[in-house]
Amino acid sequence: KAGVTQTPRYLIKTRGQQVTLSCSPISGHRSVSWYQQTPGQGLQFLFEYFSETQRNKGNFPGRFSGRQFSNSRSEMNVSTLELGDSALYLCASSPLGEWGEQFFGPGTRLTVL
Amino acid sequence: GENVEQHPSTLSVQEGDSAVIKCTYSDSASNYFPWYKQELGKRPQLIIDIRSNVGEKKDQRIAVTLNKTAKHFSLHITETQPEDSAVYFCAAKRGTYKYIFGTGTRLKVLA
């Protein structure tokens, strides 16, 4: 099976702009989670989608949003970008809601200037 | 809120020695505990996991132990090799709730 893919891999934006990142999970996986990774903060959970519904949410402002489509592909959107949003954004997919191993994508490196 | 504390933040060992990384979780209902390895510039990859009904699990040079009473689990790597150098993350999960990750341990294996 193909692994989790994310597009784009690199992105440069300026403050105030918005950005949309995409994640394609492993075929058959219904759960997609998003994480923000920065050098000093480790892996910070953004949200999880399962069968097109947001099931879990982290402690991020409303500028961060996401959605999942019927084919399980997911997108996350960040509006009104701030310098502090510069990070590696990782998505991860799982086959089941409770016990499935979580597989990470390669990430999207977002730089906000 | 729930959290996972991970120690140490950095660890240097001589090649061939053992390395131990420890995590403590706050949610007593957590029932799944994975460990991820992230090499520089790469994605995190699962290296071993344990469920709450098991006290220990081994996979070649890697083992994980779980103490539910103390809400504590540890990663043990024996006979370390230079390719073990990476950042290791522990995590805890309860049912369909979100994963809670530790802050990571940077392991350096010195040749």
pLDDT in tens, A6-58: 999 999 999 999 999 999 999 999 999 999 999 877 899 999 999 899 998 99
* Cβ within 8 Å, pair B34-A56: no
Instruction: Find, among B11, B75, B16, B13, the residue nearest to B49 by Cα.
Output: B75
Does residue A97 register a pLDDT over 60?
no
* Cβ within 8 Å, pair A42-B102: yes
In chain A, the N- to C-terminal Cα span, in Å, equals: 37
Handedness of CA B36, B39, B45, B47 (dihedral sign): negative
* Cβ within 8 Å, pair B103-A42: yes
* Cβ within 8 Å, pair A105-B43: yes
Does residue B87 register a pLDDT over 70?
yes
Closest-approach residue (CA) in chain A for B101? A43
Cβ contacts below 8 Å, chain A against chain B, sum to: 48
Looking at residue B18, its pLDDT comes to 98
